[in-house]
Chains A and B, each alone.
Chain A
Amino acid sequence: MSAVLGYEPVRDGEAPGRIWIDEPGAHRLSPACKDELLATLHDLRPPKGARLVLFGADVATLGEAERAALRRRVGFVPANGGLMSNLNAWENISLPLAYHAPRRLPEALREVRALLDEVGGVGEELLAKLPEHMALYERRLAGYVRALLEAPELLVLECVGAGLGPTKRRRAARFAEVYQARRPGGTFVQLDA
């Protein structure tokens, strides 16, 4: 029960696919139950017909306050980046900070610029773009940088490299390395199709 992330779908008494991550580090998985896990991770509601374990706790046994506390420890970036369509990249990236810790915003801007340069290979002009004008990689990068600013203990990314060209795919492959440099002891999970 001490898994960082565990997901066991149960249908008719059988467990057709199972994810069980005991140790921190970078993990790349292609589970059969990816879509179900992602749907569950999206709002951390107790799954039906499955068991979700996070940091050793069965989510179904937790109250709303405890689940809210868990949400602070988990970052999640869906394949489309999970951006708000009417906000530009900077507004999207800074939204959680502006909401929960507005005093960190000035330092966050410097951090974001450095991250975009180091990880993304894209210039600062990305920050002014609306999601509809961003390429798929840029949307994922913005979602990733947003998650990184909160330095979660567990960061789950959906289909990081899918649909990207070779150059962008190589850049996206560095997401795990950069996360671990910023969050030693954290768990990075990449879920592929």
Chain B
Amino acid sequence: MLPAYVLIAPAILSAIVFLYVPIAYSGFWSFTEYSGLGTAKWVGLANYRDLLADEDFLKALWNTVLFVLIGMGIGPVLGFLSALLLNQAVRFRAFFRAAYFLPVMTSLVVVASIWKVLLNDQGIINQIFSLFQLPTRTWLDDTTTALPAVAVTSIWQGFGFETVVFLAALQAIPRDYYDAAKVDGASYWQQVRHITLPSLRPTIMFVYIIGIIGSFQVFDQIFVMTSGGPINSTRTLVFDLFERFNQLELGQASAVAYFLLVILASLSYIQIFLFERGRR
């Protein structure tokens, strides 16, 4: 048994040092007023109360929910559809698979920087739009289009992950089911509805749980593309945390982190509960 403990010791220790200890500290700080320097002053639930009354925090919460809805509404669907396409005997399948997954492997900061240039006033997106007589906008400088623009960037970067996950799951579905369905005269979409989707249930649950947890923590794109603007229209929870940290309000920043933890834990439990119940 001892060699087993020795082997896992570094991982456990680094988890304790870099994960659990900071989580505990942060939890403590969320009940204090602390600038990072000097001593932390105990203030009880004041930070949590103040955040719930803070316009900026509430806007951040709302923006994040919107972002997650857009991203998780479109991303997995694109992933699923592209997986269906790739699951067929298409030529150069390996190339397409790599192409879809390449953005996922690219640094989010790099992707965001490139999209920021594309979405520029004189960027290629506006140029293409005007070529097709479509209305051009200052995408990142308009309070109505900034968040969707950032969401599109994220979807573009991320849906390849869902493609690969769904593709692997699709290939695990026994061919016999489809053969039997074809014999019964089922159309392609009927097969998808009655065989594919139910078989993919655990995969769909996985994709949504991971996806929602990830989307709620969106930061890189916001930092690179909009810095939370214009006028807080792309301020998200983690960006709000970051701003508070920069203003040396570590207590408030920690409280934001814990709000996020509670939200994500609750959402995950709800999802698991719904999926488990649906299974019966």
B and A form one assembly: no
Interface residues of B (CB under 8 A from A): none
Interface residues of A (CB under 8 A from B): none
